[in-house]
Amino acid sequence: MFSSESINKDFLVEFINGIKNQIVVTLHGGEPLLIGKKKL
């Protein structure tokens, strides 16, 4: 059902979003978020 291609795309999306969130939080003077922390 799941192809490795779609899994890799989802991983890249989560990874990029994590980096964006980390940059935004850092710019606002907060502590940097760990990448993937939101994924439980």
What pLDDT digit, counting tens, does each position of 1-40 carry? 556 777 788 888 988 988 887 777 666 665 555 555 555 4
What is this structure's pTM?
0.45
What's the pLDDT score for residue 40?
41
CA distance 14 to 34: 12
What's the pLDDT score for residue 20?
84
CB burial readout 2-40, b (16+ within 10 A) else e: eeeeeeeeeeeeeeeebeeebeeeeeeeeeebeeeeeee
* Tens-digit pLDDT profile for residues 26-35: 666 655 555 5
